[in-house]
Structures are given as structure tokens and as C-alpha cells.
Amino acid sequence: MEKKEIRISDKQIKIIAVIIILIIVFIVLFWGMAPGKIYDVSEIISESENFDGRNVNVSGIVNDWISTSNNFTLVDSFKENFSIHIVHTRGFPGGFSNNETVVVTGIYFSDTEKIESQSIQIGCPSKY
């Protein structure tokens, strides 16, 4: 039995290349846009052992911030008795102030109930 030789035309090669490039672009875009789940402060505090040493996204309200300081407290939006101390070593976004709703991304340390923040986003993004 003779094997048939499969020939791929230049047009087919170009179509395959475009499809592969589009797939790569979508993967890169999706990867960059998926920050992970955003937790409330109360969720982090209540289950602190699950988050210890992990990078987390936490939503809350800025409290106790002084413009000359890199430290502030993040208070739960619904349960005001829950709060986490934030240490942010980078620049603050424009419009950052006390009583502002923000999402802090950083590493959580349960022993001190502290987050070493890498980024701050102002506003209340959807959790869904």
C-alpha cells in the first residue's frame, strides 16, 4: 500500500500561523487580566491560616492613613470590627485617601495580621 503525501499550501500555513498567534494573544491578555479572587478583610482574618504567606487581593476601606506614611489600616467594608495593617512601599495611586474603597494586593502574614502591599487599586471592583 502506498502512502499519500500530504501537502499543505501556503494559504493553509498562513491561516494556521494567524490562528496560533491569536491564541497566544488571548492567553497573554487573559493571564494579565485575571487578578484572582478578591477577598473581604473579614474573610482573610477569619481564615488567616489559609492565607498566611500567600499573595492575596483584599478589598476594604482605607483608615488611619497619613500622607507622609506608607502604613495604613484596611477596614472591612461590611464588618467594621475586622481590619488588617497594610505596609505599602511603592507610590500611592492618585485619589488615595482615608475612607476610600481600595483593593490591596500583597503578601499576608497571619502572625501580625499585616499585608506587605505590592499594588493598590482605587475603587470597588466586582467580585464576580
Question: What is the average pLDDT value for the chain, to the nearest integer?
Answer: 85
> Using an 8 Å Cβ cutoff, are 122 and 104 in contact?
no
What is the total residue count of the chain? 128
Q: For residues 7 and 81, what is the distance between their CA atoms, to the nearest angstrom?
A: 70
Task: Name the band, by pLDDT with cuts 50, 70 and 90, for residue 8.
Answer: confident
- What domains can be seen in the chain, in order of their start residue? 38-122 (2.40.50.140)
DSSP-derived letter for residue 17 is: H
- Taking only the tens place, the pLDDT of each residue in 93-128 is 888 899 999 999 999 998 998 999 989 988 655 544
pLDDT at residue 31, rounded to an integer: 57
Sign of the torsion angle spanned by Cα atoms 98, 55, 93, 101: negative
Q: What is the C-alpha to C-alpha distance for residues 63 and 125, in angstroms, rounded to an integer?
A: 19
Confidence band (pLDDT; 50, 70, 90) for 51? very high
Mean pLDDT of 69-83: 91
Position 88 confidence tier, pLDDT thresholds 50, 70, 90: very high
